[in-house]
Amino acid sequence: MTLQYGQVLRYLPDFLIGAAISLVIALVAFALGLLIGLVGASVMTYGPRMARWGVRAYVSFFTNTPQLVQIFFLFFALPEFGILLSPVQAVLIGMTLNAGAYLTEIQRAGFQSLPQAEIDAAETLGFTRVQTVRHVIAPHIIKALYPSLSNQYIIMTLGTSMAAIFGVEELTARALNANAISFRSIEIFSLTALIYIGLTIIASAILYTFGRLAFRVKARAF
Amino acid sequence: MSADRIKGAKGTGGLSRRGALIGAASLAGLGLTKAALAKPLAEVLSTKKLRAGINPTLVPFGVFNQQNQIDGFDADIAREIARQMRVELEIVQVGSPDRIPFLQADRIDIVLGAITRTVERALVIDYTIPLHTQSVVILTKQSGTAVPIAKPADLDNPAVRLVQVRGTVGIPWIQANAPKAQVTLLDNYPDTFRALQQGRADAMVDVLESIVVPMKNVAGVQWKVLDEVLASTWVGIGVQKGNTTLKDVLNIVLFEMHRSGFVGKTWEKWFGVPMKTPVPMNPMF
């Protein structure tokens, strides 16, 4: 068997468009998940008992079931109840809720890592609640969590390949289409793997630079 | 919840196999070693074993029977080929994305699963003479479609939503004849039928042979298959590129299976009707 990459290079522009779609899905789901996680972690740390239970149930459900099953439910089970989500909607909602659960846990760990002494000091200095969050809590938590958050983002970038199953034409979907037409599976999937490696390297580089500039944090870098 | 739990890999169920495939494929592609050659005829005969790749999600070409073993039209054909060659048959389960890598990595000797013969694919694998034909038709619903669909031209409308299995022959037909329609591509037949049933799509362009059995199993939908045959496609059995010793024997075995009526009888057994476009008898190949 001979590998002929020349035969599959013509798919490259199409694959790169797919890669951009993968990147956008990961970015949107991560950003929204980060917000959900912030609310969830705040409730779990400072909220009333009932709300804490609710958040705990949400986190348990989404971290103990496969993401594939979650999106499958949104895409194929909800129409039975009259809710018809488009492929992109189902994938985005599924990945966002899933990310929200993991990011709740990650951020809760960050809240717990905050020494009480720092909050006491802020209180002694007469900081308002907002000032305390801004100058004491936020910088500490962001520094502590940056590596975990970067890691989660990279996991999500690769996780977008699941969207192919639900009809979103991202990178994996386009690779599968090309594979069905040309049968050059090894060339196509190795090219796809290289693009995914490229995506995560780009993501890592952005996170690393952003972390260094904004928070003086050393994030994971290749 | 412990920290390692947070970092733990997420379950990705059905993707693990594809992930492994892509991983293996990329390793093979990047640090290329000389790939295994498929078993030529001599080796099939000396090991007395023929390995056939069959896709059990392609009902009724491949099905899981009550004992959870792979059965179906393709399985019957493969068993008969093995019987005539006096070797033992080993059925290997394959899916759409991995069936060709399986062939190229010498995990299977022949691959079935309604593989339509195209020029592009013939650059990569070798085909036997046709085993059967397929007829491209339009499957739609009696009611509940975005616009009435009575003839193929009705599909070329921005309001029409089509759903297709990735890589099937209907897709190039749609690109050429119904470019205005919206198309969603899904992974397998159960998912596409569910999408049609749930009102996610109005129609599907595919081969009659792939839809005739599954559509009967979908409850609560009044299906309608338009009469026009848009195209006929030819399906052979795939062998590794250059494996002529095996292919030459398979051609003669298949010719005899057509001549004895075995292919036709087996077809009717699984489809309930004769092949829509018969394979003509041609002793020259």
Q: What pLDDT is stored for residue B5 in this prediction? A: 38
Q: Are residues B60 and B128 in the same domain?
A: yes
Residue B16 predicted with pLDDT over 60: no
CB contact under 8 A, A98 and B10: yes
The CA distance from B167 to the nearest CA of chain A, in Å, is: 5
Long-range contacts of B171-177 (CB under 8 A, 24+ apart): B171/B205, B173/B136, B173/B205, B173/B230, B173/B231, B174/B205, B177/B152, B177/B230
Q: What pLDDT is stored for residue A218 in this prediction? A: 67
The CA distance from B98 to the nearest CA of chain A, in Å, is: 8
Residue B3 within a domain: no
Nearest in space to B254 (alpha carbons), one of B41, B78, B50: B78
Q: What pLDDT is stored for residue B14 in this prediction? A: 40
Take residue A205 and report the two structure tokens written for it.
Answer: 């580089």
Higher per-residue confidence, B183 vs A205? B183
| Lowest mean pLDDT, pick from A12-21, B24-33, B59-68, B229-238 | B24-33
CB contact under 8 A, A183 and B1: no
Residue B7 within a domain: no
Distance in angstroms (rounded) separating the CA atoms of residues B206 and B137? 6
CB contact under 8 A, B10 and A66: yes
CB contact under 8 A, A180 and B123: no
Q: What pLDDT is stored for residue A133 in this prediction? A: 83
Please report which confidence band the pLDDT of residue B32 belongs to, taking 50, 70 and 90 as the band edges: very low
Candidate from B11, B167, B194 with C-beta closest to A66: B11
Please report which confidence band the pLDDT of residue B216 belongs to, taking 50, 70 and 90 as the band edges: confident
Residues in A touching B107 (Cβ below 8 Å): none
Q: Which residues does chain A have with pLDDT short of 70?
A: 1, 218-222
Residue B19 predicted with pLDDT over 60: no
CB contact under 8 A, A186 and B101: yes
- Asked if A109 and A102 count as a contact pair (C-beta separation under 8 A), the reply is no
Nearest in space to B233 (alpha carbons), one of B192, B182, B273, B173: B173
Distance in angstroms (rounded) separating the CA atoms of residues A157 and B246? 44
* Number of domain units in chain B: 2
Residue B228 predicted with pLDDT over 60: yes
Domain that holds residue B226: 135-231
Query: What is the percentage of chain B residues whose pLDDT exceeds 90?
Result: 72
Higher per-residue confidence, B78 vs B216? B78
- Tell whether B219 lies on the interface with A, counting CB pairs under 8 A: no
CATH (domain of B48)? 3.40.190.10
Return the residue matching tokens 């996610």.
B200
* Number of domain units in chain A: 1
| Lowest mean pLDDT, pick from A186-190, A211-215, B28-32, B243-247 | B28-32
CATH (domain of A207)? 1.10.3720.10
**Residue from A15, A65, A185 whose CB has the most chain B CBs within 10 Å, to mutate:** A185
Residues in A touching B5 (Cβ below 8 Å): 63
Residue B10 predicted with pLDDT over 50: no
Q: Are residues B241 and B174 in the same domain?
A: no
Q: What pLDDT is stored for residue A212 in this prediction? A: 83
Q: What pLDDT is stored for residue B2 in this prediction? A: 40
Within chain A, how many helices (H) and strands (E) appear? Answer: 9, 0
User: Which tens digits make up the pLDDT trace of B82-120?
Assistant: 999 999 999 999 988 889 989 988 999 999 999 999 999
Distance in angstroms (rounded) separating the CA atoms of residues B100 and B123? 12
Please report which confidence band the pLDDT of residue B13 belongs to, taking 50, 70 and 90 as the band edges: very low
Q: What pLDDT is stored for residue B37 in this prediction? A: 56
Q: What is the mean pLDDT of residues B225-248?
A: 95
Q: What pLDDT is stored for residue A140 in this prediction? A: 84
User: Which tens digits make up the pLDDT trace of A4-56?
Assistant: 898 899 999 999 999 999 999 999 999 999 999 999 999 998 899 999 999 99
Residue B21 predicted with pLDDT over 60: no
Higher per-residue confidence, B40 vs B157? B157
Distance in angstroms (rounded) separating the CA atoms of residues B260 and A88? 51
Domain that holds residue A54: 5-215
**Cα A181 to chain centroid, rounded:** 32
Work out the burial of residue B148: count CB atoms within 10 Å of its CB; fewer than 13 is exposed, 13-18 middle, 19 or more buried. exposed
Q: What is the mean pLDDT of residues B143-166?
A: 95
CA dihedral B243, B244, B247, B252 (to 10 degrees): -160
Candidate from A105, A148, A181 with C-beta closest to B1: A105
Work out the burial of residue B48: count CB atoms within 10 Å of its CB; fewer than 13 is exposed, 13-18 middle, 19 or more buried. exposed
Please report which confidence band the pLDDT of residue B269 belongs to, taking 50, 70 and 90 as the band edges: very high
- Asked if A55 and A93 count as a contact pair (C-beta separation under 8 A), the reply is no
Q: Are residues B82 and B145 in the same domain?
A: no
Higher per-residue confidence, B146 vs B15? B146
Q: What pLDDT is stored for residue B188 in this prediction? A: 87
Residue B34 within a domain: no
Residue A220 within a domain: no
Residue B9 within a domain: no
Q: What is the reported pTM?
A: 0.84
Residue A222 within a domain: no
- Residue B211, amino acid: I
